[in-house]
Structure 1
């Protein structure tokens, strides 16, 4: 339960009180009160604040748990390939995680535009706006997916060179990316469609769809990889006659592509059937300059923010490559292979700590956006505050797990000596700052959810390039602390960025944004 704050009324957890932000209620000729400041349509209409948070956050938490589990499973599969290819395969899958992150950024940048407009439409009761935003968002998603898929083909060589991958790992990376690229239009429909449902307060449906997507991903990735699953004394033989050493990484990627196909079909069927006050209609798919412009106005800064973050982490990948190169040349002591994999394993476990923060951030943005649509800035503010406090509690508990069980978590994915040496230290570092990570995630998503994407872009970019990169290079490369030093820099910057987002929230300018 999200804790109460000092700003809340003791008499009500959620009732949208009349404030200067929510306008004074007016009466019709029959003296019937008009419910000013209340959400007018969609699943959250008439709900208490606590109920609204739970309605949005719990299914998203479940969905994110499954997504993180699938990412973990992909790495377990790579770790189950023949020993001769485990290190280069995990390095390739690790870089593949950057590709997946880029895809998520590209699609979320578009999806947030539709989500924000639909949230405002639900709050104001403007069904026409919601239907238009949904149709236009999906049309844009398909077109954008084609462009993103084409762009992925050009990322393989630069990423491989940046990370100083071996020729074998580079070959696996090419297999992974080329296979994933063809499914990008389908991925766009799935991700953007889900975000549009978030804007309407509908999170159970996309969560159920993702169950099917993730089951398909796990099943087909395992079958097509040719790998036998082994965990301690537990073993399942792969029934297909596929050589895992040659086709394992390609098979893992093919499973993901098939899952996107399943997801795109399911989300299209669901949206065509419709949810409360929101339905996909074929006539709404026709491009409209006005709605395209509104979606892009909100989404473009969000995409730029994501690319800014992604670009920073490419530099970080380059720093890791520099450390590997120095180790190879004998200038410093340390591993010559496997560092990228150790970094990727830590990031994969870190994804589990994101889950409560992402879920509560989604709730903060959705509910705050709907309350702003209803003209009630005070309730929008309450939603973000409550979600942030809850996120800090839950992510803090996950951080304790990272600190205490880092080696055990690493062994779930790999028993390689380099991974057991490096990854637990990284998990301890990120475990310590989980509370600040929650502050960063929930407040940022709350601001994005109300359309304040320009400020989130500015804060992220300034902090990332002004603090994150210099700190990671200084501690990891210049001072010679290696991968551990890089993570000290990365996690230290998260603390600063969380403070900057908090300052923007307290400023209050986000409450006056028009979308």
Structure 2
């Protein structure tokens, strides 16, 4: 619910051309902003923003389709459809927490690599690439061991009931196989995006999604001579797909285009690791605390009823809403890269133009989806599940979240700009106060104190997102991000 990409032709305006004059600034080689696509003479920011956003959007959509495919297949099983839907969505929350660890590394990697590319500091970019991969592999391996050993207690922690509990325990066990590859995917994508290469991760996600759809479908339904495994087939297909995705992105980095993974760069380099941690740690702390708030909300929803209808409707609402926020997230990710590169070129004015252009673009697109949620929410929910009760409840929640899309767009884009500038502490503080102080407390008061249901939860979420968007926008307008050192 918080809310939860390499080819040189894809973004020609995001990499410093060789014609730039070079000079030393604070000990780093950087380029003069006198000419070229990142110069003050360059008035247009929409075209490079769109060119950079489109591959990221493709990647996000494909990543979203993995979740949508799993939710659809689970929601249309012949038996225990709501239990399977609740299990798929709840496991995704736990996996989100693991990915937050990788995102702490990824945030620092994007900020440093984007500035290094903008300043033509290739050795720094290569060092960050190697250290990001090493850290993500190590953390992924640790997470895999913990998932395999503690699958049962993790399932107990979710408060799922009946078959949903059993499904989730199996998913946790088999998911441990893919975790090192999943975390490498996050880190590698961040490095490539920071270098302005958004096409390769998108291509990798095409493969991931196609493999996931094929294997999950044939294994869960028993097509093409495969055994009919039901829910287990969905889990196996997803795990195999993410392993393949991680291998592809490692191969892309090893081949090298804008950044390259060298074997000697995989050895721990403590100075580079400290820089990554210094920038990424606030994002990691923020992510961990906000995840905790959202997980408590999820546990509360999972306790609503033994039939798992509320839990299923909640997951369906999130999956459908992702159709909107994945577009905003793509624009925000592109914004982070362009802001970092602009600041690397000592051009904060262009960073401001990029961000405001991105904000209006994201708002326009997400408002269009808001109308869809409000007027066609039931039809969208029916795509995800065959349970009539879950469809009705999800449709009402989608109508509520329609009113939060403007605030959601502002939250995504302006937070992306601040992170791209390295201003991660401010984003962390705003998110913690908003999600712990407003979201979590608001949900607990309405549910535990006044015994309201899922619709009240989504009212709180909509209000919190709107207020958080206003606060992050205010931080961007303040301008302190222009002076952050990375």
Q: Retained in 2: the 8 A contact 1:40–1:123?
A: no
Q: 1:269 aligns with which of 251, 257, 262?
A: 251
Comparing 470-479 and 367-376, the one that deviates more: 470-479
**Which moves more between the two structures, 369-378 or 473-482?**
473-482
CA deviations on 1:136-188 (whole Å, 9 max, x unpaired) are 11111111111222343577555544553223221110111111122111112
Given the superposition, is the C-alpha separation of residues 425 and 147 from structure 1 closer, same or farther in structure 2, using an over 3 Å criterion?
A: same
The equivalent of 1:4 in structure 2 is: none
1:209 and 2:200 matched: no
Query: Aligned match of 1:81 in 66, 74, 77?
Result: 77
Q: Work out whether residues 112 and 302 of structure 1, in 8 Å CA contact, stay in contact via their aligned partners in 2.
A: yes
When the two structures are aligned, how many residues end up with a matched partner? 459
Q: Equivalents in 1 of 2:244, 2:43: separation in Å?
A: 33
Q: Max radius of gyration: which structure?
A: 1
User: 2:43 and 2:130 mapped to 1: Cα distance?
Assistant: 27
Matches within 5 A, 1:15-54: 35-36=32-33, 48-54=44-50
**Is the alpha carbon distance of 1:423 and 1:37 closer, same or farther for their aligned partners in structure 2, counting shifts above 3 Å?**
farther
Q: Following the alignment from structure 2 to structure 1, what is the Cα–Cα distance between the partners of residues 150 and 477?
A: 39
Alignment partner of 1:494 out of 465, 473, 481? 465
Cross-structure match for 2:319: 348
* Alignment match of 2:368 (pick from 397, 408, 416): 397
Cα deviation, 1:321-360, whole Å, max 9, x if unaligned, reads 4433xxx6xxxxxxx4321111001011111111211111
Q: In the alignment, which of 130, 146, 149 is matched to residue 144 of structure 2?
A: 149
What do the CA deviations read for 1:56-90 (whole angstroms, capped 9, x no partner)? 1011111111111221111111123222x222211
Contact 1:309–1:464 under 8 Å retained in 2: yes
Alignment partner of 1:432 is 2:403: yes
The runs of 5 or more residues in structure 1 that have no matched partner are 1-13, 16-24, 27-33, 229-237, 329-335
Output one character per residue of 1:78-123: Cα deviation in whole Å (capped at 9) or x when no partner: 123222x222211211211212322332222211111111001011
1:477 offset after TM fit, Å? 3.7
Q: Please give the alpha-carbon distance, in whole angstroms, between the structure 2 residues aligned to 1:192 and 1:306.
A: 16
- Cα distance change on mapping 1:37 and 1:78 into 2, 3 Å: farther
Summarize the Cα distance change of 1:98–1:156 in structure 2 as closer, same or farther, 3 Å threshold.
farther
Q: Whole-Å Cα distance in 2 between the matches of residues 48 and 200 of structure 1?
A: 20
- Name the counterpart of 1:316: 297
Contact 1:113 1:294 in 2 (8 A): yes
Counterpart residue number, 1:409: 380
CA shift, 1:479, in A, is 2.7
| In 1: Cα distance, 2:43 partner to 2:204 partner | 24
- Residues of 1 paired with 2:149 and 2:421: CA distance? 34
Match of 1:300 in 2: 281
Contact residue 364 and residue 384 of structure 1 kept, 8 A: yes
Matches within 5 A, 1:466-477: 466-477=437-448
Structure 2 counterpart of 1:176: 171
Corresponding position: 1:70 with 2:66: yes
Inter-partner Cα distance in structure 1 for 2:35 and 2:134: 31
Secondary structure of 1:413 counterpart: coil
Instruction: Compute the RMSD of aligned alpha carbons.
Output: 2.4
The alpha-carbon deviation at position 192 of structure 1 amounts to: 0.8
Q: Distance in 2 between matches of 1:298 and 1:485?
A: 36
Partner of 2:99: 104
Aligned to 1:283: 264
Please list the CA deviations of residues 22-76 of structure 1 after superposition, one character each: whole Å capped at 9, or x if unmatched: xxx99xxxxxxx73366799xxxx9952232122101111111111122111111
- Trace 1:331-370 onto structure 2 (pairs within 5 A): 336-370=307-341
Tell me the TM-score normalized by structure 2: 0.89
User: 1:254 and 2:225 equivalent?
Assistant: no
Residue 135 of structure 2: aligned partner: 140
TM-score (structure 1 length as normaliser): 0.84
Is the contact made by 1:220 and 1:255 (CA closer than 8 Å) also made in structure 2?
Answer: yes
Instruction: Give 1:374's match in structure 2, choosing from 340, 345, 369.
Output: 345
Structure 2 CA distance for partners of 1:39 and 1:193, relative to 1, 3 Å = farther
CA contact (8 A) 1:357 1:441 kept: yes
